[in-house]
């Protein structure tokens, strides 16, 4: 198997953690809809990219050493003007510098804020005995609070994907609970199948999370992504 160029580059740098931008680029290649995210290596570049993408925007720290960006003060949302972008950029560098002194910071990611939708998560982790396990559930903070998730062993069939979505207790939210917008469930099934196919074709991937995915009546988009590779000691390079 020819290793993906992004994975190969990360390997060559001695890393197992992909940045958010690398993760999104990798998943976009797999046909998974992720929100357009750009890298800014300076304050002026962050302002320019924000203006190109259109306000409001979200800024996030980009660093392979920082996995939990929000906990480090590395995320700013709802930024509506160039002046606010400049302040958010400075605030992120200041907060991250205090929480993670010495961490290599590549810059900040800039992305347009997605319109609110039902938040879901799709993930994958490897089980020693069964191999890749694909997960689906309510996303955002709800996955940590409610742990309302379902699992299947990859590769998934369409029936697997359909059952996974309908198994969670929060499924009524996807149907349009109390007059809310219903979600295109078949589109989420496609997401699950694409993730399943993606991890089958890329055995170097140990874990991935798309969280949250904002699901709508006619589409869905992943606004954050995380990918972790197997260590080379596990013999995954091919």
What does the pLDDT look like over 56-88, one tens digit per residue?
Answer: 999 999 997 887 899 999 999 999 999 999 999
Distance between CA atoms of residues 182 and 199, nearest Å = 29
Domain ranges of the chain: 5-33+115-234, 37-112
- The pLDDT mean for the chain works out to 92
Enter the pTM of the model. 0.89
pLDDT at 137: 95
Mean per-residue pLDDT, 148-157 = 96
Q: What percent of the chain has pLDDT over 90?
A: 81
- From the number of C-beta atoms within 10 Å of its C-beta (0-12, 13-18, 19+), residue 196 rates as buried
- Burial profile 151-181: b = 16 or more Cβ within 10 angstroms, e = fewer: bbebebeeebbbebbeebebbebbeeeeeee
pLDDT confidence band for 3 (50 / 70 / 90): low
Closest by CA to 27, choosing from 223, 161, 189, 187, is 223
Q: Cα 95–96–99 angle (5° rounding)?
A: 90
Q: pLDDT tens digits for 200-218?
A: 999 999 999 999 999 999 9
Q: What residues does 220 pair with on adjacent strands?
A: 215
Mean per-residue pLDDT, 107-112 = 97
Mean per-residue pLDDT, 163-177 = 94
Closest by CA to 29, choosing from 66, 48, 52, 4, is 4
As a CATH number, domain 5-33+115-234 is 3.30.470.20
As a CATH number, domain 37-112 is 3.30.1490.20
pLDDT at 1 > cutoff 70: no
């Amino acid at each position: 198997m020819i290793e993906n160029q992004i994975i190969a580059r990360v390997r060559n740098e001695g890393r197992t953690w992909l940045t958010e931008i690398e993760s999104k680029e990798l998943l976009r290649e797999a046909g998974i809809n992720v929100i357009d995210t750009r890298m800014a290596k300076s304050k002026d570049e962050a302002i320019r990219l924000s203006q190109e993408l259109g306000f409001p925007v979200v800024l996030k720290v980009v660093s392979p050493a920082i996995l939990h960006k929000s906990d480090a003060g590395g995320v700013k949302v709802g930024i509506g003007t160039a002046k606010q972008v400049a302040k958010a950029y400075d605030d992120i560098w200041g907060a991250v510098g205090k929480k993670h002194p010495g961490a290599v910071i590549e810059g900040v990611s800039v992305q347009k804020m997605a319109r609110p939708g039902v938040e879901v998560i799709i993930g994958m982790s490897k089980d020693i005995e069964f191999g890749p396990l694909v997960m689906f559930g309510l996303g955002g903070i709800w996955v940590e609070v409610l742990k309302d998730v379902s699992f299947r062993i990859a590769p998934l069939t369409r029936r697997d994907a359909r059952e996974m979505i309908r198994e969670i207790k929060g499924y009524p939210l996807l149907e349009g609970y109390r007059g809310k917008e219903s979600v295109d469930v078949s589109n989420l099934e496609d997401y699950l199948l694409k993730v399943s196919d993606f991890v089958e074709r890329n055995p170097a991937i140990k874990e991935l999370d798309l969280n949250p995915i904002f699901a709508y009546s006619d589409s869905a988009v992943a606004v954050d992504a995380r990918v972790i590779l197997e260590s080379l000691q596990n013999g995954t390079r091919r």
